Structure 1
Amino acid sequence: MAEPLDTAAGQRRLRTTLGPLGAGDVGLVLPHEHLLVDFRPAGSAGPAEVDPGEFASVVEPLLAAAAAAGVTALVECTPPGLGRRVDLVLDVSRRTGVPVVVATGVYREPWVPDWVYAASDDELEAWMHRELTEGVDGSGVLAGFVKISAAEDGIRPVEERVVRAAARAAARTGALVGSHTTDGRVVLGQIDLAVAEGLAPERFLSIHTQTITDPGLRRAIVERGAWIEFDDVGQSGRDGHARTLALVLDSLEAGQAGRLLLSHDAGWFDPALPGGGTPRPFTDLTGSFLPALRAAGVGDDVLDDLCVRNPFRAFAR
């Protein structure tokens, strides 16, 4: 049976594979990672054919290493249509003891599932609401947030419908809506749509904000009240490390410490590759990036905001 929603003041919880967790139950949280992603088009051999043992042999060491590095929870950002498999995620989470937040929602075209086009707006909202409050795919695991996306050149009709349905479902449950959208103007348009449907702007997260090169657009997103996320830690070697470090320091200088999240966008098992491919670890943040921020003069209280308090505030409901 799914856990009942907490309604009393002060009962905000992360909804995870290992149950609801309060602020005192978690420390450092990685807000954007993946355990399984399948970018192959619909109709190809899909994630349902993943061998559970092969998946576990790749992913369990990643989670165990993250836990050993101080990670206490991880947000798995794979939505339906890209290979979401909550049953496999639940298994490795239990084996390693690492709580994982899973997503509901819909990605952008061409990965929108066929049934979404045929569903009514009310049916889309009801489906997301059900996954947030009753559980995903019969697993008993409640989705912890809503993952959406949009094309870089603008919001397409089906993507607008998804934004509106996501905003309504999130507003009813207190959930976060996180958007993989790399153009800041499109992000602001999504926020406008979501707010029009009743979502508070502080329940909206701009994912991959490091790809928005205009600091004015990044500032505008924060000024609307939304979250921003630099989630490319460890992706591009030393040069990328320096760029992300500069972005974080600029954001802190601009007074954005209270709205900023950090992660890797790492992992993952790819069923299109032999043996699931070669995943990236979840340990660069703790191993090298946070020490670099400390060396640049960022204090531990600010780092706790970025990696402990902010992720909980963003994803708890």
Structure 2
Amino acid sequence: MPFVRTLLGDIDPEEMGVTYSHEHIVCRPPYWQEKGEDDLLLDDPVKSLEDVKRFVQAGGKTIVDATCHDYGRDVPAVAEIARQAGIHVIGTAGLNKGFLWSARRPGSDETFAEWIERLTLEELTRFVADEVEVGMEGTPYRAGQVKFGTGYNSISPLEEKVLRAVARAHHETGAPVHSHTEAGTMALEQIELLKEEGVDLRHVSFGHMDRNPDTYYHLKIAETGAYLCFDGIGKVKYYPESVRIACILELVRHGHEQQILVSGDTARKSYYRSYGNGLGLGYILEKWVPRFIEEAEKAGFDGKRLVHLFLVENPRRCFTFKKGA
């Protein structure tokens, strides 16, 4: 039977409902702690719960929490938020990106980089697979996707090692794969490495596509069958919503409407309503969706149908495991 793995157990994909495909709920990234960057520490579960409740009130049902090992997860706190808010949360195994790895792993004298370098590829694969099959960081809460990431216009040797370990853990567990692309770069190079590992790109989602609003680039990624995650909604400091929506509609025009995911990557206090009076987790459903529908219909599309695809049907397919695990 097909299933989606959430922190509180495996569910039928039909139970997911409206889904944000890339968020952060509670996290204390060691790198940003060492730098004293308080805005990047979502360190109050009570405040995070307040925003999650706004998401629920707006019609949301599932959140993919993309916080992995090097980004300071608090798995029990997020699981409790899922219980209290009555939502599904999909957790994330693996590692994010190289520049975070100069920080020390919690409870260890090693940096993340030293730890990754010390482990064999087989040991690193086992670590990622165990997060899916056994539990994350000593808890019983299992991850529902595996993640790797690369830097801006570059892939370091350690990032490639993590990518290959994540690809192999995907084969072992059947978990869907998520890619962090720094500023939307290097997805095509990542794809070549994933192909070397025999990964079917239809099981992969590429994050931060709206950070690189290049339609040619987006179409090349989409031609592989992969999902493209437009997860910077509300962040007009990068690009206005008109640019983001135009990129999405161009993919739709080329027949890739079933490969688009949307979210906010709400990873700062200043983005949350409850922490810093930001737009908050309700924003996409309350404000962006009506605007998208209006612009899509002006362009000749059925906006409501597209929103249902991006928030319900596409995540349902993307986050379903590809074999029994």
TM-score range, shorter chain: 0.7 to 0.9
Q: How does 1:65-214 map to 2 (within 5 A)?
A: 65-112=54-101, 113=112, 114-182=114-182, 186-214=186-214
- Contact map agreement 1:35 1:269 (CA 8 A) in 2: no
- Deviation string for 1:171-208 (max 9, x for gaps)? 22221221111466621111111121121111121100
CA distance, structure 2, for counterparts of residue 45 and residue 235 of structure 1: 23
Q: Which amino acid aligns with 1:15?
A: R
**Alpha-carbon distance in 1 for matches of 2:133, 2:256:** 32
Specify whether residues 277 and 286 from structure 1 end up closer, same or farther in structure 2 by C-alpha distance, changes over 3 A only. closer
Q: Could you state the TM-score of these two structures normalised by the residue count of structure 1?
A: 0.86
Counterpart-to-counterpart distance in 2, 1:188 and 1:136: 30
For 1:18, the equivalent position in structure 2 comes to 8
TM-score (norm 2): 0.84
Deviates most, 104-113 or 164-173? 104-113
Structure 1 distance, partners of 2:32, 2:182, is 23
**What displacement does 1:44 show?**
3.5
Q: How many pairs are equivalent?
A: 299
> Equivalent residue for 2:309?
305
How far apart are residue 213 of structure 1 and its match? 3.0
Residue-by-residue CA offset, 1:32-74 (whole Å, 9 max, x unaligned): 111133345288399xxxx99x722211111111011111000
Give the secondary-structure state (helix, strand or coil) at the position aligned to 2:148.
strand
Aligned letter for 1:105? G
What is the alpha-carbon distance in structure 2 between the residues aligned to residue 95 and residue 110 of structure 1? 34
Q: Deviations over 1:258-285 (max 9, x none)?
A: 1111111115559xxxx96666411222
**Counterpart Cα distance in 1 of 2:249 and 2:14:** 28
Residue in structure 1 matched with residue 292 of structure 2 by the alignment: 293
Tell me the amino acid that sits aligned with residue 44 of structure 1: E
Structure 2 CA distance for aligned equivalents of residues 32 and 316 of structure 1: 15
Secondary structure in 1 aligned to 2:31?
coil
Equivalent residue of 2:71, what SS? Answer: coil
Structure 1: segments with no counterpart, 5+ residues: 1-10
Separation in structure 2 between the aligned mates of residue 173 and residue 14 of structure 1, nearest angstrom: 12
Identical-pair percentage: 26
Question: C-alpha root-mean-square deviation of aligned residues, in Å?
Answer: 2.6
Residue pairs, 1:189-268, within 5 angstroms: 189-236=189-236, 240-268=240-268
Residue 152 of structure 2 aligns to which amino acid in structure 1?
Answer: E
Q: Give the aligned partner of residue 106 of structure 2.
A: none
Q: CA contact under 8 A between 1:80 and 1:104: conserved in structure 2?
A: yes
The answer for unaligned runs of 5 or more in structure 2 is 102-111
